[in-house]
Structure 1
């Protein structure tokens, strides 16, 4: 696989993992802020949908056709990082799926060296390939947040469906391991 296709392949894998990580989670847990900055599972999915819609929409000259309230000039700060009471988990996850389909439809016929413009970047003139790399990194970053939040919610962990990427040990081993780390941290300066 050439370098141009590698970024897109990694992005697709990260997207699949995002969707897998939020599958089967209760609405309350999807919405629950679990950090001091309010980070929550559903908000991360909504944020990623907005990012892909922008980067693979307007930045390539094919704007996302639906209104996104958090793009409005009068939107509240961080509006894309949480779902309103009127936005169900199914709606947010469906939005992400539709944006992914739109993005893939936009990118597929384009040469990876095709021009793109990101007005908020220091150097706005770029390429489709750079957007793919950027979104693969952005998605992986937020997937890391999703990993940690999901583990806090119900203990679920793993890289993606069918691939844990963790030692094959039982729950007691993990409990002992964490206790050993707590003990070490407690004895440190």
Structure 2
């Protein structure tokens, strides 16, 4: 009984965080969803592409239930990093639609298998896993990238939040600037502070 509750709890959280990932693209133009916003090139559409490829592997190949569409090989050195950005020929719709098809495929795997069903992850040091391990791994991985997406979206237009229904409205620019300045002053004061100042 606890296994079924745990599986449904984890699966429900994964479903919610997937939706949050796509919500981060809403209302943005092609340039903004693709443009690199960090020195390593992290971008919103690339995060969705990355998650679609890796979720399809984890809930597909790992349990001998391969996703029915061609994917780049995980061990192809020439393709390394290509999952983190979209070419000009890959459309937003293609990437989002594939992610949704991956959800359906993954959901079928999660629903069909028990939490202790065995799987094999050849790229992990300890490759023998259970569905439980992969469900937790993908929930963590997707949540991690949703956090990245939240920061990227905030850089673009100030929008934050974990889901559309919990969106934090854009705040007054003057208040944000004052808050930023306060935190900056505090950081500089802490950097200047040494143990010699202790009374």
Q: With structure 1 as the length reference, what TM-score do the two structures score?
A: 0.91
Determine which of 59, 65, 71 is the counterpart of 1:62. 65
Q: SS of the residue aligned with 2:108?
A: helix
Alpha-carbon RMSD: 2.0
**Residue in structure 1 matching 2:53, options 46, 50, 54:** 50
Residues 42 and 89 in structure 1, CA contact (< 8 A), matched pair in contact too: yes
- Higher RCO, Cα 8 Å, sep 6+: 1
Q: Paired residue for 1:108?
A: 111
Counterpart residue number, 1:147: 150
TM-superposition CA deviations, 1:128-160 (whole Å, max 9, x none)? 111110000000000010000011111111121
List alignment gaps of at least 5 residues for structure 2. 193-199
Output the CA distance in 1 between the equivalents of 2:115 and 2:188: 51
Q: 1:173 aligns with which of 164, 172, 175?
A: 175
Q: Measured at CA, do residues 169 and 27 of structure 1 come closer, stay the same or move farther in structure 2, by a change above 3 Å?
A: closer
Paired with 1:58 and 1:80, the residues of 2 have a C-alpha distance of 17
SS in 2 for 1:116: strand
- Paired residues, number: 188
In structure 1, what is the Cα distance between the partners aligned to 2:12 and 2:88?
A: 34
1:53 Cα deviation after fit: 0.5
Distance in 1, Cα, partners of 2:115 & 2:73: 29
- Given the superposition, is the C-alpha separation of residues 34 and 168 from structure 1 closer, same or farther in structure 2, using an over 3 Å criterion? closer
Q: Is the 8 A contact 1:14 1:139 kept in 2?
A: yes
Structure 2 residue 37 is the aligned partner of structure 1 residue 37: no
C-alpha deviation, 1:168, in angstroms: 10
Aligned-partner SS, 1:12: helix
Contact 2:48 2:99 in 1 (8 A): yes
In structure 2, the residue corresponding to 1:75 is in which secondary structure? helix
Give CA deviations for 1:64-121 in whole Å, capped at 9, x if unaligned. Answer: 1111236472533301000011101111111111111111122212111111111111
The residue aligned with 1:6 is 9
The alignment status of 1:183 with 2:185, answered yes or no, reads: yes
Aligned counterpart, 1:161: 164
Moved over 4 A (4+): 166-171
Deviation at 1:126, TM superposition (A): 1.1
Report the Cα distance in structure 1 between the residues aligned to 2:122 and 2:177, rounded to whole angstroms.
Answer: 48
